Chain A
Amino acid sequence: MCATCGCGGDGVRIGEAEHGHGHGHPESVVSDDGRSGDQSHSRRVELEVDLLAGNDALAGRNRRRLDAAGVRALNLMSSPGSGKTTLLERTVRELGAEVPCAVLEGDQETALDTDRIAAAGARAVQINTGAGCHLDAAMVARGLDALDPPPGSLVFVENVGNLVCPALFALGEHARVVIMSVTEGADKPLKYPHMFRTADLVLLTKVDLLPYVEFDVARWVGYAQRARPGVAVLEVSATRGDGLDGWFDWLRGLVTSPVTSPVTGSVTTAGSPPPPPAPG
Protein backbone atom coordinates (compact mmCIF):
# COMPACT_ATOMS: atom_id res chain seq x y z
CA MET A 1 0.00 0.00 0.00
CA CYS A 2 1.19 3.55 -0.67
CA ALA A 3 2.89 5.13 2.31
CA THR A 4 0.72 8.20 2.58
CA CYS A 5 -2.47 7.79 0.64
CA GLY A 6 -3.36 4.15 1.15
CA CYS A 7 -3.97 3.47 -2.52
CA GLY A 8 -3.54 -0.01 -3.92
CA GLY A 9 -3.83 -3.42 -2.32
CA ASP A 10 -6.81 -2.30 -0.28
CA GLY A 11 -9.65 -4.43 -1.52
CA VAL A 12 -11.26 -1.54 -3.40
CA ARG A 13 -12.87 -2.63 -6.65
CA ILE A 14 -13.25 -0.26 -9.62
CA GLY A 15 -12.29 -2.45 -12.55
CA GLU A 16 -9.07 -1.46 -14.30
CA ALA A 17 -7.24 1.20 -12.36
CA GLU A 18 -4.26 3.45 -12.86
CA HIS A 19 -1.85 3.76 -9.93
CA GLY A 20 -0.50 6.94 -11.41
CA HIS A 21 1.23 8.97 -8.74
CA GLY A 22 4.87 9.08 -7.81
CA HIS A 23 6.20 8.42 -4.38
CA GLY A 24 8.36 11.45 -3.79
CA HIS A 25 7.96 12.45 -0.17
CA PRO A 26 9.38 15.25 1.98
CA GLU A 27 12.95 14.80 3.05
CA SER A 28 13.77 13.83 6.56
CA VAL A 29 16.25 15.52 8.85
CA VAL A 30 18.14 13.31 11.20
CA SER A 31 19.91 14.22 14.40
CA ASP A 32 22.14 12.03 16.52
CA ASP A 33 20.73 11.42 19.95
CA GLY A 34 23.76 9.59 21.37
CA ARG A 35 23.79 6.38 23.31
CA SER A 36 20.74 5.25 25.14
CA GLY A 37 22.02 2.73 27.65
CA ASP A 38 21.76 -0.58 25.79
CA GLN A 39 23.85 -1.82 22.85
CA SER A 40 22.44 0.73 20.48
CA HIS A 41 22.51 4.35 19.42
CA SER A 42 19.28 6.19 19.50
CA ARG A 43 18.73 8.47 16.57
CA ARG A 44 15.97 11.03 16.42
CA VAL A 45 14.47 11.73 13.04
CA GLU A 46 12.24 14.74 12.60
CA LEU A 47 9.81 13.77 9.88
CA GLU A 48 7.02 16.37 9.96
CA VAL A 49 4.89 14.29 7.64
CA ASP A 50 1.28 15.39 7.17
CA LEU A 51 -0.73 12.19 7.25
CA LEU A 52 -3.34 13.53 4.82
CA ALA A 53 -0.86 15.19 2.45
CA GLY A 54 -0.85 12.23 0.08
CA ASN A 55 -4.62 12.25 -0.22
CA ASP A 56 -4.71 16.03 -0.60
CA ALA A 57 -2.14 15.88 -3.41
CA LEU A 58 -4.20 13.28 -5.25
CA ALA A 59 -7.34 15.36 -4.68
CA GLY A 60 -5.54 18.30 -6.26
CA ARG A 61 -4.69 16.15 -9.24
CA ASN A 62 -8.34 15.09 -9.58
CA ARG A 63 -9.41 18.71 -9.38
CA ARG A 64 -7.02 19.86 -12.10
CA ARG A 65 -8.20 17.05 -14.32
CA LEU A 66 -11.83 18.05 -13.79
CA ASP A 67 -11.10 21.73 -14.35
CA ALA A 68 -9.24 20.99 -17.58
CA ALA A 69 -12.34 19.18 -18.89
CA GLY A 70 -14.73 21.88 -17.69
CA VAL A 71 -16.34 19.34 -15.35
CA ARG A 72 -17.76 20.27 -11.94
CA ALA A 73 -17.84 17.65 -9.19
CA LEU A 74 -19.85 17.40 -5.98
CA ASN A 75 -19.09 15.26 -2.96
CA LEU A 76 -22.44 14.09 -1.56
CA MET A 77 -22.19 12.92 2.03
CA SER A 78 -24.81 11.67 4.46
CA SER A 79 -25.70 8.80 6.74
CA PRO A 80 -27.09 5.67 5.03
CA GLY A 81 -30.71 5.99 3.99
CA SER A 82 -30.94 9.77 3.65
CA GLY A 83 -32.21 9.50 0.07
CA LYS A 84 -29.09 10.43 -1.88
CA THR A 85 -29.70 7.95 -4.66
CA THR A 86 -33.38 8.79 -5.03
CA LEU A 87 -32.45 12.47 -5.26
CA LEU A 88 -29.84 11.67 -7.91
CA GLU A 89 -32.28 9.58 -9.94
CA ARG A 90 -34.69 12.49 -10.13
CA THR A 91 -31.86 14.98 -10.78
CA VAL A 92 -30.56 12.89 -13.68
CA ARG A 93 -34.04 12.59 -15.17
CA GLU A 94 -35.00 16.25 -14.86
CA LEU A 95 -31.69 18.12 -15.22
CA GLY A 96 -29.77 15.64 -17.37
CA ALA A 97 -31.08 16.94 -20.68
CA GLU A 98 -29.83 20.44 -19.82
CA VAL A 99 -26.60 19.56 -17.99
CA PRO A 100 -24.92 16.20 -18.69
CA CYS A 101 -24.77 14.25 -15.43
CA ALA A 102 -22.47 11.41 -14.40
CA VAL A 103 -22.27 9.60 -11.08
CA LEU A 104 -19.58 7.85 -9.04
CA GLU A 105 -21.38 5.58 -6.57
CA GLY A 106 -19.57 4.71 -3.37
CA ASP A 107 -20.80 1.75 -1.34
CA GLN A 108 -19.15 -1.02 0.60
CA GLU A 109 -20.79 -3.66 -1.57
CA THR A 110 -23.15 -4.18 -4.55
CA ALA A 111 -23.78 -2.24 -7.75
CA LEU A 112 -27.44 -1.68 -6.93
CA ASP A 113 -27.15 2.11 -6.88
CA THR A 114 -25.23 2.22 -10.16
CA ASP A 115 -28.00 0.17 -11.75
CA ARG A 116 -30.59 2.67 -10.51
CA ILE A 117 -28.63 5.68 -11.83
CA ALA A 118 -28.01 4.01 -15.18
CA ALA A 119 -31.73 3.21 -15.45
CA ALA A 120 -32.42 6.91 -14.85
CA GLY A 121 -30.26 7.73 -17.85
CA ALA A 122 -26.83 8.78 -16.61
CA ARG A 123 -23.37 7.35 -16.93
CA ALA A 124 -22.43 5.73 -13.61
CA VAL A 125 -19.51 3.80 -12.12
CA GLN A 126 -19.63 1.87 -8.86
CA ILE A 127 -16.80 2.09 -6.35
CA ASN A 128 -17.03 -0.73 -3.81
CA THR A 129 -14.85 0.02 -0.83
CA GLY A 130 -15.08 -3.43 0.73
CA ALA A 131 -14.44 -2.84 4.41
CA GLY A 132 -13.65 0.84 3.77
CA CYS A 133 -15.83 3.47 5.42
CA HIS A 134 -15.20 6.38 3.04
CA LEU A 135 -14.03 7.30 -0.43
CA ASP A 136 -10.57 8.79 -0.84
CA ALA A 137 -8.93 10.70 -3.67
CA ALA A 138 -7.16 7.63 -5.07
CA MET A 139 -10.45 5.74 -5.40
CA VAL A 140 -12.06 8.71 -7.10
CA ALA A 141 -9.12 9.02 -9.51
CA ARG A 142 -9.65 5.41 -10.54
CA GLY A 143 -13.39 5.95 -10.69
CA LEU A 144 -12.92 8.96 -12.98
CA ASP A 145 -10.76 6.83 -15.27
CA ALA A 146 -13.65 4.44 -15.67
CA LEU A 147 -16.38 7.10 -15.73
CA ASP A 148 -14.68 9.37 -18.27
CA PRO A 149 -17.19 12.19 -17.74
CA PRO A 150 -17.95 14.26 -20.85
CA PRO A 151 -16.69 17.87 -21.01
CA GLY A 152 -19.06 20.32 -19.38
CA SER A 153 -20.73 17.67 -17.27
CA LEU A 154 -21.63 17.55 -13.63
CA VAL A 155 -20.16 14.64 -11.66
CA PHE A 156 -21.95 13.57 -8.50
CA VAL A 157 -19.75 11.57 -6.17
CA GLU A 158 -22.05 9.69 -3.81
CA ASN A 159 -19.84 8.94 -0.85
CA VAL A 160 -20.23 5.92 1.40
CA GLY A 161 -23.13 6.49 3.80
CA ASN A 162 -21.30 7.70 6.90
CA LEU A 163 -21.36 11.07 8.68
CA VAL A 164 -17.93 10.67 10.28
CA CYS A 165 -15.06 9.36 8.19
CA PRO A 166 -15.68 10.96 4.74
CA ALA A 167 -15.27 14.43 6.26
CA LEU A 168 -11.50 14.01 6.46
CA PHE A 169 -10.82 13.05 2.88
CA ALA A 170 -10.81 15.60 0.06
CA LEU A 171 -11.66 14.06 -3.31
CA GLY A 172 -11.01 17.00 -5.64
CA GLU A 173 -14.61 18.14 -5.53
CA HIS A 174 -15.79 21.70 -6.24
CA ALA A 175 -18.47 21.60 -3.57
CA ARG A 176 -19.49 19.49 -0.60
CA VAL A 177 -23.16 18.73 -0.11
CA VAL A 178 -24.21 17.27 3.23
CA ILE A 179 -27.61 15.59 3.10
CA MET A 180 -29.92 14.52 5.90
CA SER A 181 -33.56 13.52 6.04
CA VAL A 182 -36.41 14.59 8.30
CA THR A 183 -36.47 11.11 9.86
CA GLU A 184 -33.11 11.92 11.47
CA GLY A 185 -32.68 14.22 14.45
CA ALA A 186 -32.68 17.97 13.89
CA ASP A 187 -29.62 18.18 16.12
CA LYS A 188 -27.48 16.10 13.76
CA PRO A 189 -25.39 19.12 12.57
CA LEU A 190 -24.19 19.60 16.15
CA LYS A 191 -23.65 15.89 16.75
CA TYR A 192 -21.53 15.48 13.61
CA PRO A 193 -19.81 18.86 13.38
CA HIS A 194 -16.76 17.68 11.43
CA MET A 195 -19.04 16.81 8.55
CA PHE A 196 -21.31 19.84 8.61
CA ARG A 197 -18.64 22.48 9.21
CA THR A 198 -17.14 21.98 5.75
CA ALA A 199 -20.44 21.84 3.84
CA ASP A 200 -21.11 24.22 0.96
CA LEU A 201 -24.77 23.19 0.90
CA VAL A 202 -26.89 21.40 3.47
CA LEU A 203 -29.85 19.59 2.01
CA LEU A 204 -32.86 18.36 3.98
CA THR A 205 -34.64 15.50 2.21
CA LYS A 206 -37.98 13.70 2.58
CA VAL A 207 -39.83 16.87 3.61
CA ASP A 208 -43.05 15.19 2.38
CA LEU A 209 -42.81 13.16 5.62
CA LEU A 210 -42.83 16.24 7.87
CA PRO A 211 -46.50 15.78 8.85
CA TYR A 212 -45.66 12.35 10.27
CA VAL A 213 -42.45 13.00 12.19
CA GLU A 214 -41.34 15.39 14.90
CA PHE A 215 -38.77 17.50 13.12
CA ASP A 216 -38.35 21.21 13.85
CA VAL A 217 -37.08 22.65 10.58
CA ALA A 218 -36.30 26.11 12.02
CA ARG A 219 -34.24 24.57 14.81
CA TRP A 220 -32.41 22.39 12.29
CA VAL A 221 -31.58 25.41 10.12
CA GLY A 222 -30.19 27.16 13.20
CA TYR A 223 -27.99 24.16 14.03
CA ALA A 224 -26.75 23.90 10.44
CA GLN A 225 -25.88 27.60 10.47
CA ARG A 226 -24.06 27.16 13.77
CA ALA A 227 -21.97 24.33 12.33
CA ARG A 228 -21.25 26.28 9.15
CA PRO A 229 -22.09 29.98 9.42
CA GLY A 230 -23.66 31.28 6.21
CA VAL A 231 -24.11 27.86 4.61
CA ALA A 232 -26.80 27.51 1.94
CA VAL A 233 -29.72 25.36 3.08
CA LEU A 234 -32.39 23.69 0.91
CA GLU A 235 -35.42 21.55 1.76
CA VAL A 236 -36.53 18.98 -0.80
CA SER A 237 -38.64 15.92 -1.44
CA ALA A 238 -37.29 13.77 -4.24
CA THR A 239 -40.46 11.70 -4.37
CA ARG A 240 -43.01 14.54 -4.37
CA GLY A 241 -40.85 17.20 -6.02
CA ASP A 242 -40.84 19.89 -3.32
CA GLY A 243 -37.88 22.26 -3.55
CA LEU A 244 -36.23 20.57 -6.50
CA ASP A 245 -36.22 23.78 -8.55
CA GLY A 246 -34.00 25.36 -5.88
CA TRP A 247 -31.68 22.34 -5.97
CA PHE A 248 -31.44 22.47 -9.76
CA ASP A 249 -30.80 26.24 -9.66
CA TRP A 250 -28.02 25.68 -7.12
CA LEU A 251 -26.47 23.10 -9.45
CA ARG A 252 -26.76 25.47 -12.43
CA GLY A 253 -24.97 28.09 -10.33
CA LEU A 254 -22.18 25.64 -9.62
CA VAL A 255 -21.81 24.78 -13.29
CA THR A 256 -21.53 28.43 -14.34
CA SER A 257 -19.49 29.72 -11.39
CA PRO A 258 -15.81 30.47 -11.95
CA VAL A 259 -13.37 28.07 -10.32
CA THR A 260 -11.91 29.91 -7.36
CA SER A 261 -11.88 27.70 -4.30
CA PRO A 262 -8.64 25.82 -3.65
CA VAL A 263 -8.42 22.10 -3.09
CA THR A 264 -7.45 21.22 0.44
CA GLY A 265 -8.17 18.64 3.06
CA SER A 266 -11.44 19.17 4.80
CA VAL A 267 -10.15 20.06 8.20
CA THR A 268 -8.02 22.89 6.93
CA THR A 269 -11.00 24.56 5.27
CA ALA A 270 -12.97 24.70 8.50
CA GLY A 271 -14.29 28.14 9.19
CA SER A 272 -13.55 29.56 5.76
CA PRO A 273 -16.48 31.18 4.00
CA PRO A 274 -18.44 28.85 1.75
CA PRO A 275 -17.91 29.28 -1.99
CA PRO A 276 -20.79 31.16 -3.55
CA PRO A 277 -22.54 29.02 -6.14
CA ALA A 278 -25.81 30.62 -5.04
CA PRO A 279 -28.45 30.72 -7.72
CA GLY A 280 -28.93 34.12 -9.29
Chain B
Amino acid sequence: MHELGITQSVVDAVTDRLGPSPVRRVRLEIGRLSGVVPDAVRFCFELVTAGTTLEGAVLEIDEPEGEARCRTCGTAFATSEVLPLCACGSADVEVLGGASLRIREVELVAREGHPGDVRGAEVD
Protein backbone atom coordinates (compact mmCIF):
# COMPACT_ATOMS: atom_id res chain seq x y z
CA MET B 1 0.00 0.00 0.00
CA HIS B 2 2.61 2.54 -1.05
CA GLU B 3 -0.25 4.80 -2.17
CA LEU B 4 -0.79 5.87 1.44
CA GLY B 5 2.77 7.23 1.62
CA ILE B 6 2.49 8.76 -1.83
CA THR B 7 -0.75 10.51 -0.88
CA GLN B 8 0.80 11.70 2.37
CA SER B 9 3.65 13.19 0.34
CA VAL B 10 1.08 15.16 -1.68
CA VAL B 11 -0.31 16.70 1.50
CA ASP B 12 3.17 17.36 2.87
CA ALA B 13 4.39 18.96 -0.36
CA VAL B 14 1.36 21.24 -0.63
CA THR B 15 1.37 22.35 3.01
CA ASP B 16 5.17 22.76 2.98
CA ARG B 17 5.11 25.04 -0.05
CA LEU B 18 1.82 26.85 0.19
CA GLY B 19 1.41 27.50 3.87
CA PRO B 20 -1.92 27.93 5.65
CA SER B 21 -4.13 28.84 2.66
CA PRO B 22 -7.09 26.49 2.37
CA VAL B 23 -6.94 24.30 -0.71
CA ARG B 24 -9.96 23.93 -2.98
CA ARG B 25 -8.60 21.56 -5.59
CA VAL B 26 -5.52 19.44 -6.25
CA ARG B 27 -4.58 18.07 -9.64
CA LEU B 28 -2.17 15.16 -9.83
CA GLU B 29 -0.61 13.34 -12.72
CA ILE B 30 -0.31 9.60 -12.22
CA GLY B 31 0.95 7.89 -15.35
CA ARG B 32 -0.64 4.59 -16.26
CA LEU B 33 2.75 2.90 -15.98
CA SER B 34 3.80 4.57 -12.72
CA GLY B 35 2.99 1.64 -10.46
CA VAL B 36 0.59 3.77 -8.42
CA VAL B 37 -3.16 3.08 -8.45
CA PRO B 38 -5.23 6.27 -8.76
CA ASP B 39 -8.25 4.74 -7.00
CA ALA B 40 -6.06 3.84 -4.04
CA VAL B 41 -4.80 7.44 -3.91
CA ARG B 42 -8.42 8.67 -3.98
CA PHE B 43 -9.23 6.28 -1.16
CA CYS B 44 -6.33 7.58 0.93
CA PHE B 45 -6.85 11.27 0.12
CA GLU B 46 -9.80 11.89 2.43
CA LEU B 47 -8.01 10.07 5.22
CA VAL B 48 -4.71 11.91 5.03
CA THR B 49 -6.17 15.36 4.34
CA ALA B 50 -8.37 15.35 7.46
CA GLY B 51 -7.41 18.25 9.67
CA THR B 52 -5.10 19.81 7.06
CA THR B 53 -5.50 22.73 4.68
CA LEU B 54 -6.48 20.17 2.05
CA GLU B 55 -9.49 18.85 3.94
CA GLY B 56 -12.51 18.82 1.65
CA ALA B 57 -10.46 19.65 -1.46
CA VAL B 58 -11.42 18.15 -4.79
CA LEU B 59 -8.89 15.65 -6.08
CA GLU B 60 -8.40 15.46 -9.84
CA ILE B 61 -6.06 12.90 -11.38
CA ASP B 62 -4.73 12.95 -14.93
CA GLU B 63 -3.70 9.49 -16.10
CA PRO B 64 -1.51 9.84 -19.20
CA GLU B 65 -0.75 6.76 -21.25
CA GLY B 66 2.75 5.50 -21.76
CA GLU B 67 4.78 6.00 -24.88
CA ALA B 68 6.58 2.99 -26.28
CA ARG B 69 9.02 2.26 -29.10
CA CYS B 70 9.62 -1.16 -30.56
CA ARG B 71 13.30 -2.07 -30.64
CA THR B 72 12.61 -4.61 -33.39
CA CYS B 73 10.71 -2.56 -35.98
CA GLY B 74 11.09 0.97 -34.61
CA THR B 75 7.37 1.71 -34.38
CA ALA B 76 6.31 4.21 -31.69
CA PHE B 77 2.90 3.73 -30.07
CA ALA B 78 0.85 4.70 -27.04
CA THR B 79 0.29 2.04 -24.38
CA SER B 80 -1.28 1.45 -21.00
CA GLU B 81 0.52 -1.87 -20.60
CA VAL B 82 3.59 -2.18 -18.41
CA LEU B 83 4.92 -4.90 -20.72
CA PRO B 84 3.53 -3.86 -24.10
CA LEU B 85 3.63 -5.95 -27.24
CA CYS B 86 4.28 -4.26 -30.57
CA ALA B 87 1.87 -4.93 -33.42
CA CYS B 88 4.80 -6.63 -35.20
CA GLY B 89 4.73 -9.29 -32.48
CA SER B 90 7.90 -8.20 -30.67
CA ALA B 91 7.98 -7.91 -26.89
CA ASP B 92 11.30 -6.04 -27.03
CA VAL B 93 9.74 -2.65 -26.47
CA GLU B 94 11.27 0.40 -24.85
CA VAL B 95 8.85 2.30 -22.61
CA LEU B 96 9.51 6.02 -22.83
CA GLY B 97 6.81 7.64 -20.74
CA GLY B 98 3.67 7.15 -18.73
CA ALA B 99 5.52 6.76 -15.45
CA SER B 100 5.05 10.31 -14.19
CA LEU B 101 4.01 10.82 -10.60
CA ARG B 102 3.61 14.45 -9.67
CA ILE B 103 1.48 17.33 -8.44
CA ARG B 104 0.51 19.48 -11.41
CA GLU B 105 -1.58 22.23 -9.90
CA VAL B 106 -3.25 23.38 -6.71
CA GLU B 107 -6.18 25.78 -6.44
CA LEU B 108 -6.16 27.83 -3.26
CA VAL B 109 -8.94 29.66 -1.52
CA ALA B 110 -7.69 33.18 -0.86
CA ARG B 111 -10.25 35.04 1.22
CA GLU B 112 -10.71 38.80 1.14
CA GLY B 113 -7.91 40.49 3.00
CA HIS B 114 -6.12 37.16 3.51
CA PRO B 115 -4.16 36.44 0.37
CA GLY B 116 -2.47 33.58 2.12
CA ASP B 117 1.14 32.80 2.80
CA VAL B 118 2.24 31.64 -0.61
CA ARG B 119 5.99 31.27 -0.88
CA GLY B 120 7.45 32.21 -4.24
CA ALA B 121 4.11 33.56 -5.34
CA GLU B 122 3.84 35.76 -8.40
CA VAL B 123 0.39 37.25 -8.45
CA ASP B 124 -0.84 39.52 -11.22
Contact = CB atoms under 8 A, between A and B. Distances in A.
Contacts of B14: 47
Contacts, number: 149
Contact of B123 (A1, A32, A165, A271): A32
A121 to B, nearest CB: 34
Contacts of A27: 119-120
B17 A25 contact: yes
A6 interface: yes
A41 B109 CA distance: 6
Interface string B9-22: 11011111110010
B73 interface: no
A267 B34 contact: yes
Contacts of B34: 267
Contacts of A36: 24
A241 interface: no
B8 A271 contact: no
Contact of B13 (A44, A51, A133, A272): A51
Contact of B121 (A3, A4, A30, A168): A30
Contact of B106 (A25, A44, A271): A44
A: contact size bracket: 35 or more
Contacts of B100: 50
A153 B21 CA distance: 50
Contacts of B105: 44-47
A90 B101 CA distance: 39
B112 A39 contact: yes
A29 B122 contact: yes
B63 interface: no
B99 A164 contact: no
Contacts of A31: 122-124
B2 A30 contact: no
Contacts of A164: 2, 35
A42 interface: yes
B58 to A, nearest CB: 12
Interface residues of B, number: 52
Contacts of A48: 102-104
A134 interface: yes
B91 A49 contact: no
Given A168-B36, A226-B83, A267-B35, A4 B12 contact: yes
A98 interface: no
Contact of A6 (B8, B93, B96): B8
A42 B15 contact: no
B69 to A, nearest CB: 9
Contact of B12 (A1, A30, A42, A270): A1
A268 B99 contact: yes
A44 B100 CA distance: 21
B107 A267 contact: no
B35 A194 contact: yes
15 contacts: A1-B8, A3-B13, A4-B16, A25-B17, A27-B120, A30-B120, A31-B123, A42-B108, A43-B118, A43-B123, A47-B103, A48-B102, A168-B2, A229-B91, A270-B95
Given A4-B13, A28-B118, A40-B110, 13 more contacts: A1-B12, A3-B17, A32-B124, A41-B110, A42-B24, A44-B105, A47-B14, A47-B106, A48-B103, A51-B10, A51-B103, A193-B82, A197-B82
The 5 closest A-B pairs by CB, nearest first: A3-B16, A3-B12, A267-B99, A165-B2, A30-B121
